[in-house]
Structure 1
Amino acid sequence: MRQIVLDTETTGINPKLGNRIIEIGCVELHNRMLTGNNYHVYINPERDSEEGALNVHGLTTEFLSDKPKFHEIVEELRAYVAGAEVIIHNAPFDLGFLNHEFKRLNLPDFTDHVGKVIDTLVQAKELHPGKRNSLDALCDRYGVSNSHRKLHGALLDAELLADVYLAMTRGQNSLGMDVEEEVSAGGASLEQVALADIIVVPASEAELAAHEDTLNGLDKAVKGSCIWRALSAPPAAA
């Protein structure tokens, strides 16, 4: 399955007020593995950024003045995302801008070119109701380092979101909660390890005797039978 983690930077917060996209960053996943086939472009919006937006991304009008305009990159963007499942944090924001840019060029909506859209903000709110679910908060929650994130950047944020998404949707699919690799130290896959016979080593007589001594001490402390004996006792006959 091909997935694209996408983020944009813009000149402001509302495309209906003339704000435009100035940066697009995409990270490709194939079967939940990072491929390195990323897509990143700066775009000349043909206008200045609003002050609040400029403080967020730091991309000045001067820096963007020699970058391609959106109509010059739209075909490569369409080809890159075609049919993929797209993952966005707070999807309505980015999709609003992307759809607006496509409509300016009399093209079908951006969403018509992709297979499906996943909003990680919606997922995070379902998993962590009542908690902060910004990208920075999720990085902290899932142990994704974002110490190098001084300003927002579309590619950097897409890379961080890819790591967060993989952590947030991982589940327990390995023998340990912190296993990242699909290959064990001995070279066998985790699937092979999971299907192998489990070796059970019974307690020795000395260990059984020590266990009984511990239970006797607990019985004495509670002046009766400890809960362990009650739990391990055979069920009474009906």
Structure 2
Amino acid sequence: MRIPRIYHPAPLTVGTVLALGDDAAHHVSRVLRMTVDAPIALFDGSNHVFAARLTRVDKKGVEATVLATQMEDRESLLHLHLGQVMSRGEKMEFTIQKSIELGVNVITPLFSARCGVKLEGERLEKKLQQWHKIAIGACEQCGRNRLAEIRPAMTLEAWCAEQEAGLKLNLHPRAQQSINTLPLPAHGIRLLIGPEGGLSAEEIALTANYGFTDILLGPRVLRTETTALTAITALQVRFGDLG
């Protein structure tokens, strides 16, 4: 049986006994039906994995004792920051989950002129919390020991205006340049993926003003969630740790 991996939000130390959070405790006790003495693997975002054993499983909670630790670096050498204009329904959740499996380090949800998602206030905050849980689950599943960051949502222009070193890319169906012609990025990549209806002409001009390079993936028009994962995969193959 595969040893389950659990994220713990506080720093871990060998020899300590800790109580698992509500979601983790429910997963261990109710979903996996694990019992006392069962082994689990914990990670706290420090790029280490901690071997642990369950020492308490009951209605009041689940506790584990940390037994040993070692560094397990599964991070790509390519730092990827995805700016994703929010998509409807489960498409955004799918994009977040799979992008993290592919090695994206930071995801910023964006609002644009043709964004089909209208969220604000409490509804937006709940959605961000949901996406954070999806990020945790993706890291638990794929073996990453650093937690990918889900940033607060912001407007497209505010995100483009941020000062961040690195190559800035915008997917455009009429671009002249491809990923294979890009130079090796010295400080990572900032990748913009537009909405289902595409960026407006004004927004495309705005990205150019902020130093973004338009790139083309191929001759076919891809859905927004397909575009994100295809571009990330191609960038990881060319500059990162895939292939």
Q: TM-score range by the shorter chain?
A: under 0.3
Could you say which structure has the larger radius of gyration? 1
Between structures 1 and 2, the one with greater strand share = 2
Q: TM-score, normalised by structure 1?
A: 0.27
